[in-house]
Structure 1
Amino acid sequence: MSRAFTREEDSENAIAGVGERPVSPHRNLVTERGLAMIEENLAELRDLMAKAERRGDRERLAVVSRDLRYWTARRESAELSVPEPGSEVIRFGMGVTLENDDGKKVHWRIVGEDEADPSKGSISHVSPMAMALFGKKVGEVVKVNGKEWEIVKVSYKAEN
C-alpha cells in the first residue's frame, strides 16, 4: 500500500516509535477526584501539544497526541460514581480497613483504574481485593491470595 494512504497520526506514532496506550475493557468508574484527575491530564496535554507544535517537535507531538487520545477516550467513557453516605455495604469509592490474622491492619480506598495507586492506599475496582470486598460489611471475612482479612471498618471517605 502506498504511504499516501496512511493516516497522519500513524506516521506521527512511527516517528517516535510509540504505540497506542491500551484502554481497559472494564467500565470506567471514577470518583470525583478521579474525574478531576482526567480533566487535569487533558488540560496539561493540550498545553504540551501547543508547545510541541510551536517548536515543531514531531517526536514529542507523537507521544502527546497518543496520550491525548487515551485521556480523551477515558473522559468520554467516565462514569462518575459516588458512594451513598452512611452505607454499611462496601461499594466503589468507599474506604475499607482490614485486619489479618497477625493483627496487621491496612486501609484501602476503592477507586477507578486510572486513579488507583496501592502505594498511596487506593486500589482499582477491578482488583482481586476490591472484587472480594464488594457487597460485604464490617465483621465479614474475605480471602484474597490465600490470606484472610476481616473487615473492621467501612468509611465513606478515605482516611489519611
Structure 2
Amino acid sequence: MSRAFVNEDAGADRPDLPELPLSTRPNYVTPRGLADLQARLATRVADLAALKARAERLDKLPEAAAERDIRWLEARLKSAILVDPAAQSLQEVAFGLRVTVCDEEGRESSYEITGEDEADANLGRIAPHSPLARALLGAQVGDEVVWKRPAGDLTLEVVAISLP
C-alpha cells in the first residue's frame, strides 16, 4: 500500500495503553495505606490537570498514562477494606500489626502485615498473602512457625506483637 493512503494521525488522539492489573484478593488497607492511595490519586489528578493545560499537547501518551493511573487508583480506593490496627488484639499476629521474630540463629527481625499496595520488603512491610505473612497470621508470642521459602524452610519464633 502506498504511504499516501495511510492516515498517520489515526489513533493519535487516544494512545492505547494496557490497563494496570487489579488484584483479585480482598483489598485490606491500614489507615496509612488508605491515606497513601488518596494522596497518590490527588497527585495524579493534579498531574493530569497540568498535562491538559500544556500549550503543546501533541503527545497524548502522558495524559493517557495519568488517566489510566487515576482509573486504577479509584478502583483500589473503591475496593478498599479499612482495618484499624488499634482495634486488633495484641494476643495474636493479625493484619496491621508488627510482629518480631527470632530465627534459628538468634537474629531478630520485625515485620508489619499491611495491604498489598503498601507492602515494601525494604521497610519490613509484607502483604497478607505472602508466604511469610501466611505463616505468621494467627501465631502468638512463644509460637514457632515455619516459613516455607524457595531457599528452604526457616523456623521462626514469635517474640513480640505490637502496634506499628
Q: Normalising by the residue count of structure 2, what TM-score does the alignment of the two structures yield?
A: 0.84
Query: In structure 2, which of residues 127, 135, 159 is the aligned counterpart of residue 152 of structure 1?
Result: 159
- Is residue 79 of structure 2 the alignment partner of residue 77 of structure 1? yes
Residue-pair matches, total? 145
Query: In structure 2, which of residues 142, 145, 151 is the aligned counterpart of residue 139 of structure 1?
Result: 142
- Is residue 20 of structure 2 the alignment partner of residue 21 of structure 1? yes
In structure 2, the partner of 1:3 is none
In structure 1, the partner of 2:126 is 123
1:33-48 alignment to 2 at 5 Å? Answer: 33-48=32-47
For 1:119 and 1:26, the matched residues in 2 are separated by: 23
- Contact 2:33–2:117 at 8 Å: present in 1 too? yes
- Contact 2:38–2:77 at 8 Å: present in 1 too? yes
User: RMSD of the alignment, in Å?
Assistant: 1.5
Unaligned 5+ runs, structure 1: 1-7
Residue 85 of structure 1 and its aligned partner are, at CA, apart by 5.1
Which structure is larger by alpha-carbon Rg, 1 or 2?
2
- Contact 2:15–2:60 at 8 Å: present in 1 too? no
Structure with the bigger percentage of helix: 1
Call closer, same or farther: CA 1:85–1:92 in 2, change over 3 Å: closer
In structure 2, the partner of 1:100 is 103
